[in-house]
Chains A and B, each alone.
Chain A
């Protein structure tokens, strides 16, 4: 039943992005087991008798004052990650052949990831870019952060061309703290150039994951007759024959994906290809895997 809500075409009918994120994450999380790890966090877990070598900072002095017993207060495990999602909002992200555009899918995905970070008390932020940085919400765990990021996502409208260099350069200037950085884009650029642009983030101790959003029509375009295609970013036109789309385009896009994946992995970046007609849980699972690795 809940899987139905992970379907992007169903989510597209929900206008409230927060509700989308809640629906996705609650539906997704309800199928997972709670982590057995303990750590430092605000959520109380249990008391334990003090043993030699334990950190005195965790002694519950109130209990000692009343009972003269030294017990330690234990909390649920908590990481102290900073999650930043970089969302591509270029014009190419507005393409849709399934009813859900890539930008919408990216928003759902971003909102879901950030909602999960919010549940984890992580600091999180978002950056929306095309050839410039359009919106940037600095990572934070303060109250109201979720509304700020969702507002930024709401305002993300596909426009202009993609330019990874400029936004990423600026982003690296004030992004110092280590954390998780997810880049959600269709990556219509040379894989080497993309990776070269993004991999400096890795140097700051970030875990970087590339979410490669693709529309089914982009992977295997199907045309009955010759069509005149217009590039949504450059407005360049090309007359394409069905034979070309069937026979020549496929290998090229496959090679592009393979190269991007290879480049990313060789530079320590995680890569995840996501089709816009696929449920959101695959992307979230990828995120959690990465998040777990951080713990």
Chain B
């Protein structure tokens, strides 16, 4: 027996209090004058005896109460061997790999049959638990001994589109061992795919006394061709300019001739024949995508199908739409900025955008809602009504790119946001001839794909004051040159210089093109609309700064994926089935994403037998070497605390003490009252 917090035993000193009060405290008697002691006899009682007789029960209860309180805080425990009820019997874990690769050659059915046969043999008090192992481990049953329920749990394992990760099995077994605290017998039914092995072998570690047996459902690797990737624009405007690139890969395959088809909405649009070398890789490009307006469910398919036809298809979604319009507002005396920007946008935008150029005065008649985003290129003072409509547009989810130059300085504020401008800095007036960008936020999606900004020379920059700006780039004097801000549901990006090739030489640098392209994509929110992704990959629904707006996702069957709460709060979601998903965002924005099984699952190369043996033997070796340690870990006496019964006893002691103390008081008063009544009656 021991104590978890023995220093609390010091509280036992408190028992001295009742001892002092009940036993040691002097029974002080104040002499009381009385008329005559003629009939009183000496009945002297020692204080100790007197108190003992009178308060013995109360005293004992109070002592008990303090002792229990001290013990409760000290946390007494008794070392006990684990219950032998379960330790002496078999405890089996039946794990079945249900990853995407198990669809090949009905491997999953085979694994389930074998697992069910094993489950049927569970008996004689043995217990078993069923796990389905994929990207995560799912418990299909509790640790039970009913073979019927175990078989039903095995049968309930459905094929998934996930990749498998054997480290998840190790983690699950360690969890079960910790919970059950008994030796485990683990049977794992899998196709033993090499790609399921974790990078670090130690992640596979089983508990010391878990005995692992891997049941391979396939004896050798099978040749398999698959569509590894497809590159296509998520939004096309001209079907004749649409390009679709696909990469076909063969794993453990001989040289072969394959037919690759481009299919849109079930209709084969094009077909190409490719020659694949042994274990080879080849690319196919389709130069047109004759699709209809709206979302198109497209796929690349390899024919003829191989032994694993599930991965011969790669899905991708394409939206056909008209080019999106961009409003470019500039000051009337600046003709060069629209020229530079239009050229860059048309060159880099792949025809996605059409630019309307107006001066600040003409912008009054424009309705911002019609545009994908708006560029305010050093516009100078704007008409109040136009600025108000811009604010409404941004708050509702629109986007504005603002460049600041000499015209803006005159107005003294940043258009739309209203942040104050604190003059300009002209490099030639200081010791430097120009400013360079010395720091960039590489996590920003615009900056991340824009290289070479540090070569741009900025001669004039505008100082912006105000809060809430997220800096994207800073120049050598410490001022920020690019920043973005969330305003309502919309986005605002500011370049504290102009596009006129006077304040800087940015338009002449090659980096101007990717900057315009990436900023346009970001402002138009095209970066959000991934057209295809893999099962298990996270899909970003909203940023943390975006307020709760309802987002709906419909799965390939047309059912809602998100609960009501998730649709308002979830920032990311992991889609776990192949197929096309519709995403409906706020402001009527819609997108479609195609989800494919992870291509790692297409490589059916198997884990070398010696590696599997090493994995199996690791558990066995551990079990052998730690026969003491094993027996050890679980048969080693474990501390069992007894705070619950102590707490119950404490409560009982408190109740008893309260009852007896109150009863004692009541008795004294009752006797006194009785005597009073009697005296009055006799006197009367």
Contacts and interface: CB of A to CB of B under 8 A. Distances in A.
Interface of A: 92-95, 102, 186, 188, 215-222, 224, 226-234, 236-244, 246, 248-249, 252-253, 256, 275, 277-278
Contacts of B675: 220, 222, 246
Interface size class of B (residues with CB under 8 A): 20 to 34
Contact of B36 (A232, A237, A277): A232
B679 A252 contact: no
Contacts, number: 101
Interface in B382-440: none
Given A241-B43, A277-B683, A231 B668 contact: no
B45 A220 contact: no
Contacts of B676: 222
Contacts of B30: 227-228
B33 interface: yes
B7 interface: no
Given A228-B31, A232-B34, A244 B683 contact: no
A147 to B, nearest CB: 31
30 contacts: A92-B36, A186-B36, A188-B38, A215-B35, A216-B683, A217-B34, A220-B679, A222-B671, A222-B675, A224-B672, A227-B29, A227-B32, A228-B30, A229-B31, A229-B34, A230-B33, A232-B34, A233-B36, A234-B37, A237-B31, A238-B37, A238-B41, A239-B42, A239-B43, A244-B43, A246-B671, A256-B39, A275-B682, A275-B683, A278-B684
Contact of B34 (A95, A219, A239): A95
B672 A188 contact: no
A3 to B, nearest CB: 14
Interface string B211-251: 00000000000000000000000000000000000000000
B33 A95 contact: yes
A230 B668 contact: no
B672 A230 contact: no
B274 to A, nearest CB: 110
A248 to B, nearest CB: 7
B40 interface: yes
A248 B34 CA distance: 17
Contacts of A248: 41
A95 B35 contact: yes
A229 B38 CA distance: 11
B27 A226 contact: yes
Given A216-B679, A239-B45, A248-B41, A228 B35 contact: no
A94 B36 CA distance: 11
A278 B683 contact: yes
A102 to B, nearest CB: 7
Given A216-B680, A244-B41, 7 more contacts: A220-B682, A233-B36, A239-B42, A239-B45, A243-B43, A253-B39, A278-B683
Contacts of A240: 40, 43
B365 interface: no
Nearest to A251: B39
Contacts of A231: 34, 36-37
A147 B200 CA distance: 123
Nearest to A91: B35
Nearest to A219: B679
Interface of B: 27, 29-45, 50, 668, 671-672, 675-676, 678-680, 682-684
Nearest to B42: A238
A237 B679 CA distance: 25
B577 to A, nearest CB: 84
Contacts of A244: 40-41, 43
A221 B36 CA distance: 12
Q: Which 8 A-B pairs have the closest CB atoms?
A: A95-B35, A188-B36, A92-B35, A275-B683, A252-B39, A228-B29, A231-B37, A229-B34
Contacts of A242: 671
Given A95-B35, A220-B678, A238 B671 contact: no
B650 to A, nearest CB: 31
A242 B32 CA distance: 14
Contacts of B37: 229, 231, 234, 236, 238
Contacts of B34: 95, 217-218, 221, 229-232
A216 B684 CA distance: 11
B666 to A, nearest CB: 13
A278 B682 CA distance: 11
Contacts of B45: 226, 239, 241
A229 B32 contact: yes
A188 B35 contact: yes
B28 to A, nearest CB: 10
Nearest to B672: A222
B449 to A, nearest CB: 93
B673 to A, nearest CB: 10
B44 A239 contact: yes
A102 B31 contact: no
B35 A186 contact: yes
A237 B40 CA distance: 10
